[in-house]
Amino acid sequence: MTGLALRGLGRRFGTVEAVKDVDLELKEGEFVSLLGPSGCGKTTTLRMIAGFIEPNAGTIELGGKVISSPSASLPPEKRGMSMIFQSYAIWPNMTVFENVAFGLKLRRLGREEIRRRVGEILDIVQLGDLADRYPAELSGGQQQRVALARAVVIRPAVLLLDEPLSNLDANLREEMRFEIRRMHDELKITTVYVTHDQSEAMVTSDRIAVMNKGRIEQVDPPVELYMRPRTRFVASFIGRTNFLEAKRERDVLVFDGFSVPVSALAIPLADGNAVTVSVRPHALDLSAQQPAANGRIVLEGKIARRAFLGDTWNYLFAPAGNGAALIVSAAPHKVIEDGAPAWLTIDPGQLVPIA
């Protein structure tokens, strides 16, 4: 069942098209992140879903009913949605319990029902023992949990989150990613999450919609998005990658220094003579001695540069001849000196053609 649907959604500000022809459907209970750089249209899209901005084109549907279009839009307070912003916006003069109960009091629920529902949600966010504390007595992560609890205690049809972890330090952000996912698994609320941080999106999401210049370039589960990017932008924005150019000669791709049968690629190749492929640094293997090919591509060269990152070595491999240098990620124990000869092994199945 479709919980939320964006159909041909667009929004202009003067002559600037902030969002262009966006199509996206969320199943009921699904968690989808809008991921992209600043200015790509993700927050504008979220605010249209919330009802704060009206679209210039297309529609937004909730439960099969149109709630936004250029001709009419349902007010935000009638959409049954909750939104969490970058600032937590919790009231400093209210206790944790009072902050979380606020929306229920506005809905005129009975005292016992409010107490029961607030108690349940505080237990879910692991703040049951802090119900009587004030925000100033809480850590940043605990304040974020209060904001989450207040948003979900009213049982919204859709939960909207706009860069909710941007004010936390790195360790708290990592902790809260898993906390948000744990809450979603327990409550199953349809969720749209806006972020420019790919790690947040990868940890929390069922699917990720990568946006660029107002459009969605690809929507897929995190693993598929990382392993099978469809465009150059997606391949470069999600993690690091190497781009290699090739020419198609019948059933063979000819690169600078090696060739690969088209049949060896992991996904089908579109028509055209010029081909760009993406290959992730972790999919490449470096050796200090020449390895056996075993159906793989082996290139001879040298280490042009290296950097130790703690959990990996980051090598720049320069192949013999005029081939493009390639970034390679290697385990900490795989140590090859700067300028030393080396061999690079490529599995053809890791070469992903992109648009």
Span 214-237, pLDDT tens digits: 999 999 999 999 999 999 999 999
Residues 27 and 123 in one domain: yes
- Give percent of the chain with pLDDT exceeding 70: 99
- Determine the pLDDT at residue 193: 97
Q: Kindly report the CATH number assigned to the domain that includes residue 284.
A: 2.40.50.140
Residues 107 and 18 in one domain: yes
Provide the 8-state DSSP code for 49: H
Task: Give alpha helix (H) positions in 7-85.
Answer: 42-50
Residues 137 and 260 in one domain: no
Q: What is the pTM of this model?
A: 0.90
Domain region containing 193? 2-228
Residues 268 and 198 in one domain: no
Residues 167 and 250 in one domain: no
Please check whether residue 343 lies inside any domain of the structure.
yes
- Give percent of the chain with pLDDT exceeding 90: 82
Please check whether residue 179 lies inside any domain of the structure.
yes
Residue range 245-255: mean pLDDT, rounded: 91
Residues 186 and 270 in one domain: no
End of a domain among 207, 228, 249? Answer: 228
- Determine the pLDDT at residue 19: 98
Residues 58 and 197 in one domain: yes
Please write the tens of the pLDDT for every residue from 119-169: 999 999 889 999 999 999 998 889 988 999 999 999 999 999 999 888 788
Provide the 8-state DSSP code for 14: T
Residues 313 and 167 in one domain: no
Between 8 and 294, residue with greater pLDDT: 8
- Determine the pLDDT at residue 2: 63
Please write the tens of the pLDDT for every residue from 93-124: 999 999 999 999 999 999 999 999 999 999 99
Residues 253 and 208 in one domain: no
Residues 205 and 335 in one domain: no
Please write the tens of the pLDDT for every residue from 43-73: 999 999 999 999 999 999 999 999 999 999 9
Residues 224 and 245 in one domain: no
- Determine the pLDDT at residue 242: 96
CA 201/CA 210 separation, integer angstroms: 10
Q: Kindly report the CATH number assigned to the domain that includes residue 175.
A: 3.40.50.300
- Determine the pLDDT at residue 213: 97
End of a domain among 197, 228, 259? Answer: 228
Assess whether pLDDT exceeds 70 at residue 346.
yes
* Average pLDDT over all residues of the chain: 93
- Determine the pLDDT at residue 1: 54
Residues 160 and 264 in one domain: no
Burial class from Cβ neighbours inside 10 Å (0-12, 13-18, 19+) for residue 341 reads middle
Please check whether residue 108 lies inside any domain of the structure.
yes
Question: How many domains is the chain built from?
Answer: 2
Please check whether residue 233 lies inside any domain of the structure.
no
Token pair in block for residue 146:
């209060």
Please check whether residue 31 lies inside any domain of the structure.
yes
End of a domain among 171, 199, 228? Answer: 228
